[in-house]
Amino acid sequence: MRVTGVIAALFATLAAAESADVQREEFFAAGIIYRQPNFRGQSRVLEVGRCVDLRGPLYDNVRSIRVSGNIECSIFL
């Protein structure tokens, strides 16, 4: 009986430690931009509420964009 209590306490401790250590950063994708037409090639996920300054291969090379649900996306060139 004592071993069962120790095992139960051990599992409870492990579960509490795991929930404290794991911090998930969640984000919601507003859309995805692609370097090639028809949603192909290099891509980048755009997060809701974040302004993105494109640099690198996608700079001046966005050829298609897929927007999620009822999201509005403003693109400034």
- pLDDT, one tens digit per residue, over 20-76 is 444 555 667 889 999 999 999 999 998 888 888 888 888 888 999 999 888 887 877
CA 16, CA 14: separation in Å to the nearest integer?
5
Q: What is the pLDDT of residue 33?
A: 92
For residue 62, what are the CA distances in angstroms to 19, 21, 55?
A: 40, 39, 11
